[in-house]
């Protein structure tokens, strides 16, 4: 495709987003004003679906066991071509609201998708918005992992999203995460009159914690293990017949996470043997995979960010969190760059971050992020060579 056309299309994308600036900022603020935790995002998903349907997208809802999920598609009338996916997150944190800025993520992906959809009849291809609930976890959390299990990314050439942050930088490595729970079942008895008749389930949980703390000395530095006791009994004078603990077990790669998880399962089995309790081990939400960073893809995003006058900082922070976008990165080339919404000291999952997500700088970051995503999508839709470079790196990661 001729360079002159590309420049014209770039202008079209920027103008399309600018002309609807107020619409997308209002969308972001509405989602922010209606915080909903994972798989309960009725208002937010409804707003996104209605907006995309009005723009001519065909939408399927309630996919892969997530009632507030959706997939919105718009295909070119020119026929098959490159398929660009945009990931939308819109769940809030319990008691904190949108302190991770998912209102910006959802709105930026939607704005980028709509702007690209205006051009696909000229350039070919397909735009797909993946509405993925419960990124923050919770019951049946991490919908992207469910989408991967159900092969819903099949046929997609590349996926993108942006995440609000305290600076502009590219995709960071993230940790694999096993969200696992341990239920110990014992036997109730009067704790003073006949303790010998009881089997203390809480002792099983305590021994589990002790065993894990002993294990910490013998794992690699990338491993993170953190847990809570969610049920420890009902009264001090009753031997607890039921106790429960939940843990996140993280590591830099899925393979090493699997190994640590198996060791911790054995600690739990040992705790059950010590106390005489029985233990049930299960996952309380989807497993999360580490993110496969595609540097070629990130570079293309950075080039398009530069076109609108923004730059990445030189140093990418170390990634010690987890995201279900990591699961997507294992099946399709994916980027997860970051956009500045506040001070360099701003930290996610805080009240300050929540307020930054609807600040003037946060609103501007939404528009900047949407433009950069859309321009990156345009690059891939019109330049097979750049798309193949991304796929080559992705294939090398799997060889």
Percent of the chain whose predicted confidence (pLDDT) is above 90: 94
- The whole-number pLDDT of residue 394 equals 97
This prediction's pTM: 0.94
- Distance (Å, rounded) from C-alpha 332 to C-alpha 60? 21
What is the tens place of the pLDDT at every residue in 229-281?
999 999 999 999 999 999 999 999 999 999 999 999 999 999 999 999 999 99
Q: Is residue 1's pLDDT more than 60?
A: no
**Torsion angle (degrees, nearest 10) of CA 301, 307, 313, 319:** -20
Q: Decide: 267 and 279 in contact? Cβ < 8 Å.
A: no
How many residues comprise the chain?
399
pLDDT band at 3 (very low <50, low <70, confident <90, very high): low
CA–CA distances in Å: residue 136 to residues 40, 139, 165, 173, 357:
12, 10, 16, 17, 16
* Sign, CA torsion 94/100/104/108: negative
Q: In what order do the strands lie in the sheet with 176-185?
A: 224-231, 242-251, 176-185, 278-283
- Mean pLDDT across 344-369: 97
- The whole-number pLDDT of residue 9 equals 94
What is the tens place of the pLDDT at every residue in 135-176?
999 889 999 999 999 999 999 999 999 999 999 999 999 999
């Amino acid at each position: 495709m001729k360079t002159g056309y590309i420049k014209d299309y770039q202008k079209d994308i920027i103008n399309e987003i600018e002309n609807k600036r107020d619409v997308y900022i209002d969308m972001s603020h509405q989602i922010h004003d209606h915080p909903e935790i994972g798989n309960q995002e009725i208002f937010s998903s409804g707003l996104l679906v209605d907006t995309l349907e009005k723009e001519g997208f065909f939408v399927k809802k309630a996919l892969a066991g997530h009632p507030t999920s959706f997939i919105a598609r718009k295909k070119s009338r020119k026929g098959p071509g490159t398929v660009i996916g945009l990931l939308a997150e819109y769940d809030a944190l319990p008691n904190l609201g949108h302190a991770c800025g998912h209102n910006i993520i959802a709105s930026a992906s939607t704005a980028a998708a709509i702007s690209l959809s205006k051009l696909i009849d000229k350039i070919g291809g397909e735009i797909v918005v993946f509405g993925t609930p419960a990124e923050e976890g919770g019951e049946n959390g991490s919908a992207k992992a469910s989408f991967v299990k159900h092969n819903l990314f099949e046929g997609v050439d590349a996926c993108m999203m942006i995440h609000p942050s305290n600076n502009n930088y590219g995709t960071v490595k993230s940790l694999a995460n096993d969200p696992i729970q341990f239920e110990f079942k014992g036997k109730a008895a009067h704790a003073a009159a006949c303790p010998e008749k009881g089997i203390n389930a809480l002792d099983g949980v305590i021994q589990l914690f002790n065993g894990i703390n002993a294990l910490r000395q013998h794992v690699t530095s990338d491993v993170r293990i953190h847990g809570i006791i969610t049920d420890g009994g009902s009264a001090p004078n009753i031997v607890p017949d039921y106790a429960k603990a939940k843990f996140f077990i993280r590591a830099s790669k899925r393979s090493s996470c699997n190994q640590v998880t198996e060791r911790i399962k054995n600690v739990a089995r040992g705790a059950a043997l010590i106390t005489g309790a029985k233990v049930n081990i299960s996952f309380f939400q989807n497993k999360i995979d580490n993110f496969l960073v595609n540097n070629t893809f990130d570079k293309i995003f950075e080039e398009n960010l530069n076109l609108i006058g923004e730059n990445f900082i030189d140093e990418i922070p170390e990634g010690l969190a987890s995201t279900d976008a990591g699961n997507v990165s294992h099946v399709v080339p994916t980027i997860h760059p970051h956009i500045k919404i506040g001070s360099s000291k701003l930290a996610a999952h805080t009240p300050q971050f929540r307020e930054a997500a609807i600040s003037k700088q946060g609103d501007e970051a939404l528009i900047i992020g949407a433009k950069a995503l859309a321009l990156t999508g345009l690059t891939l839709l019109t330049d097979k060579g750049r798309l193949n470079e991304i796929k080559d790196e992705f294939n090398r990661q799997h060889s």
